Chains A and B, each alone.
Chain A
Amino acid sequence: DQQVKQNSPSLSVQEGRISILNCDYTNSMFDYFLWYKKYPAEGPTFLISISSIKDKNEDGRFTVFLNKSAKHLSLHIVPSQPGDSAVYFCAALSNSGYALNFGKGTSLLVTP
């Protein structure tokens, strides 16, 4: 049973606009949430993370928002750039576990 879900397989955004990638989870025991970016033929690259004690974390153009009551997190990219085109994976981890639970990914396309 998948505990981390990314319900949008793809997203297309115009350059300069905001990209919003969504992720839902079912396990309330998750303590940490991470976003990874993946280009074809490469491994996932760590992007940004958030602890469950926070509701927002910002790093440059990337901001992750966490809504624990809704078991929902989102990644905002502002402004979006063509180089941001990639597959974005949401992942979650509990303090007592080792495995990152990944979603299936959302393919982002940023058009000029």
Chain B
Amino acid sequence: ETGVTQTPRHLVMGMTNKKSLKCEQHLGHNAMYWYKQSAKKPLELMFVYNFKEQTENNSVPSRFSPECPNSSHLFLHLHTLQPEDSALYLCASSQDTGGASYEQYFGPGTRLTVT
């Protein structure tokens, strides 16, 4: 596997379910990101991890809970979601945050539908 991978690619869940999205990067990067893309809106940053430490939480509701056990893996735990949370969730990684290492590489995304 190369680049950034995400599983599952598609997920349908009820509002009372608990599920997790997984992201893995094979690029040797130190920073990982979760983005949300809703219909007709720009990508919105949710969380940033640098060297496994969370450095940004962009006012995301607590029903979204990130976990970064190491620099290669990033999870997004979901519980009691709302239908308006249906969106494409994208994971990205970069060598570091900011500065000259700014190029972020994205995974294919998980298309989430909350029913």
Contact = CB atoms under 8 A, between A and B. Distances in A.
A19 B104 CA distance: 24
B109 A104 contact: no
Interface in B19-67: 31, 33, 40-43, 45, 48, 50, 55-56, 58
B90 A44 contact: yes
B90 A34 contact: no
A102 B103 contact: no
Contact of B45 (A42, A45, A100, A104): A100
Contacts, number: 64
A96 interface: yes
Nearest to B9: A41
Contacts of A100: 43, 45, 104
Most A CB contacts (10 A, CB to CB) among B43, B90, B104 go to B43
A98 B98 contact: yes
A49 interface: yes
Contacts of A78: none
A35 to B, nearest CB: 11
Interface size classification for chain A: 20 to 34
Nearest to A93: B102
Most B CB contacts (10 A, CB to CB) among A4, A42, A93, A96 go to A93
17 contacts: A34-B104, A36-B106, A41-B109, A43-B4, A43-B90, A44-B43, A44-B106, A45-B106, A46-B103, A93-B98, A96-B98, A98-B33, A98-B50, A99-B56, A102-B43, A104-B40, A104-B41
Interface of B: 4, 6, 31, 33, 40-43, 45, 48, 50, 55-56, 58, 90-92, 97-99, 102-109, 111
Question: Which 8 A-B pairs give the minimum distances between C-beta atoms?
Answer: A43-B106, A99-B45, A102-B42, A102-B43, A98-B48, A32-B102, A43-B108, A44-B106
